[in-house]
A and B are shown apart, each in its own frame.
Chain A
Amino acid sequence: DIQMTQTPSSMPASLGERVTISCRASQGISNYLNWYQQKPDGTIKPLIYYTSNLQSGVPSRFSGSGSGTDYSLTISSLEPEDFAMYYCQQYDSSPWTFGGGTKLELK
């Protein structure tokens, strides 16, 4: 299985701050990388698919980049509703695997 290492596991941040979450795969995954947001109420939604494509309805302050084994999710200016859990997920090879999650917390 491809292991996905997500860093940091938690991140205190302030409103308006620019933050970046990283995800490293145990082998190259050819940009087959998605990002999801889980809100405190448990609901999960896709943010970014295929490394850098913004899901419909997701604000443009979210962006994704990367290649090979290293990928990142950036939020350009934190809004109150962005404090949540974030997960990366690879689909280069089955079984699809997730990163361990990053909890974005209000500083």
Chain B
Amino acid sequence: EIQLQESGPGLVKPSQSLSLTCSVTGYTITSGYDWSWIRKFPGNKMEWMGYISYSGSTNYNPSLKSRISITRDTSKNQFFLQLNSVTTEDTATYYCARYRRRVPYWYFDFWGPGTMVTVSS
């Protein structure tokens, strides 16, 4: 079965960049689907951040567009999140997820367990 696993630093200083890795097993990320990052803030609000498609194209939430980059390493079957110029408001649990798009059924069908990132000096 497909599994996703987030990894990266749990603590980032304000103004620095947040970098996370999502390692995928059980499915090749270039075979299909979109590969997303989603975060859940303290207080339970959830935000879709963006995705990289199986072909390498990207789509970002406009609220983050100037700060976010999602890339991939197909040789390692991994994709990455970079969020620049972080503030304490970026403190959240970050999830990677597979986005299934088969009209009209579009949904996040597999999720990683999440990784908590705190932005603090």
Q: Interface residues, chain A, CB within 8 Å of chain B?
A: 1, 31-32, 34, 36, 38, 41-46, 49-50, 53, 55, 85, 87, 89, 91, 94-98, 100-101, 103
Contacts and interface: CB of A to CB of B under 8 A. Distances in A.
B13 to A, nearest CB: 25
A101 B44 contact: yes
Interface residues of B, number: 22
A44 B44 CA distance: 13
Interface of B: 40, 44-48, 59, 61-63, 93, 95, 97, 104-109, 111, 113-114
A100 B44 CA distance: 7
B94 to A, nearest CB: 11
Given A42-B113, A43-B113, A98 B105 contact: no
B48 A98 contact: yes
Contacts of A85: 44
